[in-house]
């Protein structure tokens, strides 16, 4: 239940939103205390999201002028996502980042972004919407669980593995 | 969703094989092996997509995935006559921390063809593509009980983000996805 009534619009991002989206994902990285791990530059981000072959898409939440943030921003939330594939279920969507500015929480914006993304996923014939959360992030886990999400790690024992740049480089050099 | 037994220190015998990009004709074999992998992972009832959907999604104008297959010559074919004995299915993903990345969705080699370096050949072929596309990372998922696969990837330098950092994969599907979509706010 929204604590505060707030007008907002959820819409697909345009190239003109790139700076706002960058601002929001940087804020999220600060909130997650991982901003030192962000090595991506704005130029790469803009090229990868809004260039010739975009690697991701975004939905943004916008408020009218009269509700803008204290710094004057009207784009106050983002859901950044891309298409993936499951060899069992087919087309899927992966939610990389979901973020709403602190002063705009409790108005249903996060829920609105997530639901709109689910609608986009279905329109593109996707049967899965996936994301990752940290086990200590109880608030987010509870949010998604309340919306019917299934914890594939806890329930089905899947682990995510990663090769970082060094080990990836080594592997690539061994290619036949 | 990976299955590749950890290799012995030495290959059992020499086996000629070729790693190449999949074509539409390979979809029948890839579908067959997807089911074999699902059986190994004890979830054969979870496979819902058809070969036709796989072909559509992998070979349309904006494909959802890419795939390498491992092919053996006639003299090494199994008794069923298959020339395609392994595959690696992968696609681009994105990290807002490090940028371009790659996800390895499936890596599978038929049991009688393991121990010859085919799994390693498939994995390194994907890693080479990832590097060419300037990816900072290669990610995949394995089941916690799948010790041969976990050992295989750990030996190659993979880090277990679930065990080490507490990451959980969360999924909406079926009725839960439908319910979420219906809640879309009216702008």
- Catalytic residue positions of A, numbered: 144
Model pLDDT, residue B8:
41
Q: Mark yes or no for CB contact A119/B171 under 8 Å.
A: no
Q: What digits encode the pLDDT tens for the residues A110-132?
A: 999 999 999 999 899 999 999 99
Alpha-carbon distance B74 to nearest alpha carbon in chain A (angstroms): 21
Instruction: Select which of B87, B90, B108, B153 is catalytic.
Output: B153
Give pTM, 2 decimals.
0.90
Model pLDDT, residue B92:
96
What's the average model confidence in pLDDT over A11-33?
A: 94
What's the average model confidence in pLDDT over B23-38?
A: 95
CA dihedral of A18, B133, B72, B114, whole degrees rounded to 10: -80
Q: What digits encode the pLDDT tens for the residues B126-138?
A: 999 999 999 989 9
In the predicted model, is pLDDT for residue B19 greater than 90? yes
Q: Which of B119, B139, B151, B172 would you mutate first to test chain A, the one with the most A CBs within 10 A?
A: B172
What's the average model confidence in pLDDT over B157-183?
A: 86
What's the average model confidence in pLDDT over A66-79?
A: 96
What's the average model confidence in pLDDT over A43-66?
A: 96
pLDDT band, very low/low/confident/very high, at B6 (cuts 50, 70, 90) = very low
Model pLDDT, residue A171:
85
Alpha-carbon distance B130 to nearest alpha carbon in chain A (angstroms): 8
pLDDT band, very low/low/confident/very high, at B7 (cuts 50, 70, 90) = very low
Cβ(A31)–Cβ(A65) below 8 Å: no
pLDDT band, very low/low/confident/very high, at B9 (cuts 50, 70, 90) = very low
What's the average model confidence in pLDDT over B66-74?
A: 96
Cα(A54)–Cα(B155) distance, integer angstroms: 34
Model pLDDT, residue B5:
44
Model pLDDT, residue B11:
46
Q: Which of B180, B182, B186, B187 would you mutate first to test chain A, the one with the most A CBs within 10 A?
A: B180
ipTM of the complex: 0.90
Alpha-carbon distance B78 to nearest alpha carbon in chain A (angstroms): 23
Q: Does B147 touch chain A (CB under 8 A)?
A: no
- Restricting to B residues 59-88, those with a Cβ less than 8 Å away from any Cβ of A are 64-65
In the predicted model, is pLDDT for residue B52 greater than 60? yes
pLDDT band, very low/low/confident/very high, at A170 (cuts 50, 70, 90) = confident
Looking at the DSSP bridge assignments, the partners of residue A128 are A92, B173
Going by C-beta distance under 8 Å and a sequence separation of 6 or more, which residues neighbour residue B13? B116
Cβ(B22)–Cβ(B69) below 8 Å: yes
pLDDT band, very low/low/confident/very high, at A60 (cuts 50, 70, 90) = very high
Give the CA count within 13 Å in the CB-facing half-sphere of B130: 37
Q: Does B162 touch chain A (CB under 8 A)?
A: yes
Model pLDDT, residue B13:
63
Q: Mark yes or no for CB contact B180/A55 under 8 Å.
A: no
Residue with tokens 């994301």: A131
Q: Does residue A83 come out as left (phi exceeding 0), alpha (psi in the -120 to 50 range) or beta?
A: beta
């Amino acid at each position: 239940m929204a604590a505060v009534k707030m007008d907002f619009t959820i819409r697909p991002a345009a190239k003109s939103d790139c700076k706002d989206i960058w601002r929001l994902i940087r804020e999220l990285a600060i909130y997650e205390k991982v901003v030192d791990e962000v090595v991506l530059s704005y130029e790469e981000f803009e090229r990868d999201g809004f260039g010739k072959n975009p690697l991701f898409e975004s939905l943004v939440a916008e408020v009218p002028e009269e509700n803008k943030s204290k710094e004057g921003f009207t784009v106050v939330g983002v859901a950044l996502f891309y298409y993936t594939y499951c060899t069992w279920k087919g087309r899927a969507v992966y939610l990389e980042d979901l973020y709403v500015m602190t002063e705009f929480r409790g108005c249903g914006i996060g829920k609105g972004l997530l639901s709109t993304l689910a609608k986009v996923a279905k329109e593109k014939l996707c049967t899965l919407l996936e994301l990752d959360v940290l086990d200590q992030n109880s608030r987010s886990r509870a949010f998604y669980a309340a919306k019917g999400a299934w914890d594939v790690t806890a329930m089905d024992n899947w682990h995510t593995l990663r090769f970082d740049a060094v080990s990836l480089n080594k592997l690539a050099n061994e290619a036949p | 969703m990976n299955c590749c037994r950890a290799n012995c220190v030495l290959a059992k015998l020499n086996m000629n094989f070729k790693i190449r990009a999949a074509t539409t004709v390979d979809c029948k074999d890839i579908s067959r092996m997807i089911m074999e992998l699902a059986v190994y992972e004890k979830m054969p009832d979870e496979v819902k997509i058809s070969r036709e959907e796989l072909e559509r999604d992998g070979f349309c104008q904006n494909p959802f995935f890419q795939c390498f297959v491992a092919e053996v010559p006639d003299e090494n074919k199994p008794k069923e006559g298959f020339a395609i004995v392994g595959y690696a299915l992968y696609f681009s993903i994105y990290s807002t921390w490090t940028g371009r990345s790659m996800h390895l969705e499936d890596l599978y080699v038929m049991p009688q063809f393991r121990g010859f370096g085919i799994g390693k050949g498939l994995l390194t072929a994907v890693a080479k593509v990832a590097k060419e596309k300037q990816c900072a990372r290669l990610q995949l998922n394995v089941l916690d009980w799948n010790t041969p696969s976990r050992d295989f990837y750990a030996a190659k330098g993979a880090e277990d983000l679930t065990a080490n950092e507490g990451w959980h994969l969360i999924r909406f599907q079926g009725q839960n996805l439908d319910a979420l979509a219906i809640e879309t706010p009216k702008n």
